[in-house]
Structure 1
Amino acid sequence: MTINVGLVGYGLSASVFHGPIIQRIEGMRLKAIVSSNAEKVNRDYPDVEVFDDVDSMLLRGEIDLVVICTPNTTHYEFAKKAILAGKHVVVEKPFTVDASEAEELISLAKAQGVNLSVYQNRRWDNDFLTIKALLETGMLGKLSTYEAHFDRFRPVIRDRWREKNLPGSGILYDLGSHLIDQALNLFGMPQTLWADIRSERDGGQTDDYFHLILGYPNLRVILHSGSLVKLAGPRFVLHGDRGSFVKYGLDPQEDQLKLGMHPGDSGWGEDRPELYGKLSTVVGGLSMEAIISTIPGSYEAFYQGMAAAIQSGAPVPVQAEQARDTIRIIEYALQSHREQRTIQIPSQEGAK
């Protein structure tokens, strides 16, 4: 069975992260794209049909999977239309602007009998894959602190929707969705949350800095992002009662895609040796330090998982319920910052 895919939107997300990867997935074919810039689409994909709007594309019976790559405020509307049309759906992160929208889409997809997933691609970053594998070895012992940074140096505000005063805009919804999803993937929903969110650049219309502390019984998860970080520190820092792990550098797949590389190309997702993480631990009472080779990243794994879900009923690669929980954490973070207090998260949240 060939899965015909329709992309909604053709900005950075669709043209860099989705289209090139979908084209390399066995059993998938990029069939249609909704865009106001047909010339740009035709230059990249001359055999793909271009539509002016979502409704026109959904009338095509050949489309099996719809991928929503439009501004955050449109995710709910377009995903709902696609689900009601009986299509499987992938939504670019963040899933929705608020959790109630996410809940409605989840219920609707179940009622329609279609697969619904969210493109949390950084679960397949090389550094995160390495950390997951390291934690499974138990070499750090009982984890006490997990700290993840996604810092950038962008002192000049860009004229784009992500930096406008719009629902779902700002760095917390953008980069925060990645860091929160990774943390929840490892540790589940926290018991408490404290957040500091601000605009640190002159003239900013939305947040461009956040510092979150997620509280677990014996663990603190620190998630941080800033826009004025010229000299970045570690990307990940983990401390446990048997040792520590520190990792610098960012997964290369985004830059590789921008340079025209694809999954399967030589060096795809591979880390530079000088950026390999450093482990300091205790083995048999002896202190030991080691360099941990980074597991190659694999963004293609998401769409391989979607193909398996559609073709054979396998679980989707990112459950919509998990992506909904990420939106809940964002909402709790906004509440914490607004009320200047630590939020107690109901114990049943993750089970809803």
Structure 2
Amino acid sequence: MDDIQVGLIGYGPAGRFFHGPLIHATPGLRLAAVVTRDPGRAAEAGQRYGAAALPDAEQVFGRCDLVVVASPNRTHVPLATEALALGLPVIVDKPLAATAEEARRLVALARERGRMLTVFQNRRWDGDFRTLRALLEEGALGEVTRFESRFERWRPEPKGGWRESGGAREIGGLLYDLGSHLVDQALQLFGPVRTVYAESAARRPGVGSDDDTFVALGHESGVRSHLWMSAVAARPGPRFRVLGSAGAYVKDGLDVQEDRLRAGRTPDEPGFGEEPEERWGEIGAAEGRRPLPTLPGSYLDFYRGVETALRTGGQPPVDPAGAVAVLRVIEAARLSAEQGTVSHLS
């Protein structure tokens, strides 16, 4: 069968370090075109993937079978809407939209047009998340009462760019960025949410969006999720701390795949997602703790799932309805932080 021709809109960090390498490494997909106006990045895309560099998104729509939207957040909805209206399947980087209502309209349009819409929630394929999900399926922790999850970094000097300096119009800040992953993982593991409480601030001078946020979720299942996202954590806490009636799982450090992609390694090479033993987490109680091997991470499985869905007409690897649920929680968290109250979801 002919390769599916993929057009990638946006060749910043998301396009260069995630989507480009993953598309290129997926059998049945070909990165045919990249939208960028940066001459250096255009040359890189051509040399590395043989992709044509185009100056605007409209030129992609007429020459590709699949559109990937990895451009700034404020462009996600208009670009995805245009592609779906033209009858093209679409992958959108997270967050899918600024609001749950906008996301619902996109999902409805995709259904109306009979085209695939999915969201790049790659952190579902982190090795530590896969390990935790396996523990929960086995019942190894007993009845879970609290889920603590963090993406914390130490970046006292802002890097600049729309994610930090842009306000609400840019859909910037950590709640929409890292929070999209943290909330998605919590919902995947423990189900729908009833209550949301949040504290959020812009700590660094010159930053226009939140760079230090905490969110507490009360799940219908009874589990409490505590989520931290910060750029000003001089000493980051554990990536995961999960407390259950039979023990706990504690894991430090981030999944290895992002660093390896940024270093130029290819995601289909042997051992790409495997974590060294010294980075494994621990399972057990205060006494009797033991190291637990981390399952290999595999971001490539997302694009393999996309290729299969397009060939067979099956379900995409991430149901976009899940992105709507994530945005409902994010909107409730923003309201909670602004008003200093607990938000309730029906």
Give TM-score, length-normalised by structure 2. 0.95
| Residue 231 (structure 1) shift | 2.1
1:173 paired with 2:168, answer no
- Give the whole-Å Cα distance in 2 for the aligned partners of 1:242 and 1:212: 26
- Counterpart of 2:237 (choices 233, 236, 245) is 233
Q: Give 3-state SS (helix, strand or coil) of 1:154's partner.
A: coil
Greater CA deviation, 193-202 or 14-23? Answer: 193-202
For residue 51 of structure 2, the aligned residue among 43, 48, 64 is: 48
What residue in structure 1 maps to residue 128 of structure 2?
127
Once residues 275 and 195 of structure 2 are traced to their aligned partners in structure 1, the CA distance between those partners, rounded to angstroms, is: 34
Whole-angstrom CA distance in 2 between matches of 1:32 and 1:226: 34
2 CA distance for matches of 1:198 and 1:312?
46
Q: Distance in 2 between matches of 1:242 and 1:149?
A: 23
1:320 matched to which residue of 2? 320
Give how far 1:253 is off: 0.6
Q: Distance in 1 between matches of 2:43 and 2:113?
A: 33
Contact 1:95–1:118 under 8 Å retained in 2: yes
Partner of 1:206: 209
| Percent identity of equivalent pairs | 39
Match runs of 1:1-352 below 5 Å: 1=1, 2-46=3-47, 47-60=50-63, 63-167=64-168, 168-217=171-220, 218-281=222-285, 288-346=288-346
Residue 193 of structure 2 aligns to a residue whose secondary structure is coil
Q: How far apart, in 1, do the equivalents of 2:195 and 2:32 lie?
A: 45
Q: Which region of structure 1 is more displaced relative to structure 2, 287-296 or 332-341? A: 287-296
* Partner secondary structure for residue 156 of structure 1: coil
Task: Give 3-state SS (helix, strand or coil) of 1:107's partner.
Answer: helix
**Alpha-carbon distance in structure 1 between the residues aligned to 2:237 and 2:107:** 38
> Tell me, what secondary structure is at the counterpart of 2:177?
helix
**What is the alpha-carbon distance in structure 2 between the residues aligned to residue 203 and residue 33 of structure 1?**
32
Residues 42, 48 of structure 1: 8 Å contact kept: no
Given that 1:139 and 1:281 are in contact with CA atoms closer than 8 Å, whether structure 2 keeps it comes out as no
Question: Conserved in 1, the CA contact under 8 Å of 2:165 and 2:208?
Answer: yes
Distance in 1 (CA, whole Å) between partners of 2:283 and 2:40 is 50
Farther off after superposition, 287-296 or 71-80: 287-296
**Residues 140 and 281 of structure 1 are in contact (CA less than 8 Å); yes or no, is this contact kept in structure 2?**
no
Q: CA contact under 8 A between 1:151 and 1:226: conserved in structure 2? A: yes
- Secondary structure of the residue aligned to 1:87 is coil
Give the deviation of 1:289 after TM superposition. Answer: 2.5
2: distance between equivalents of 1:219 and 1:322? 19
Which range is displaced more, 41-50 or 208-217?
Answer: 41-50
Give the conservation status (yes or no) of the 8 Å contact 1:190–1:214: yes
Moved more, 112-121 or 181-190: 181-190
> Structure 2 CA distance, aligned partners of 1:39 and 1:117?
30
- Contact 2:255/2:297, CA 8 A, preserved across alignment: yes
| d(CA) in 2 for partners of 1:148, 1:114 | 34
What RMSD, in angstroms, separates the aligned Cα atoms of the two structures? 1.4
Distance 2:25 2:231 in 1: 33
Partner SS state of residue 260, structure 2: helix
Partners of 1:163 and 1:216 in 2: how far apart? 30
Give the whole-Å Cα distance in 2 for the aligned partners of 1:190 and 1:44.
42
Deviations 1:61-88 (A, max 9, x none): xx11100010000000000111111111
Distance in 1, Cα, partners of 2:164 & 2:119: 22
Structure 1 position 281, deviation (Å): 4.8
1:349 counterpart residue number: none
Q: Please state whether the residue corresponding to 2:175 is helix, strand or coil.
A: helix
Alignment partner of 1:45: what SS?
Answer: helix
Residue 38 of structure 1 and its aligned partner are, at CA, apart by 4.2
The amino acid of 2:219's aligned partner reads: Y
What SS does the corresponding residue of 2:283 show, helix, strand or coil?
strand
| Segment drifting more, 63-72 vs 31-40 | 31-40
64-73 vs 51-60, which moves further: 51-60
Q: What CA deviation, in whole Å up to 9, does each residue of 1:277-314 have, x standing for no partner?
A: 111159xxxx6422110001000010000001100122
- Structure 1 residue runs of 5 or longer lacking an equivalent are 347-352
**What is the number of residues matched between the two proteins?**
340
Structure-2 separation of matches of 1:159 and 1:322: 30
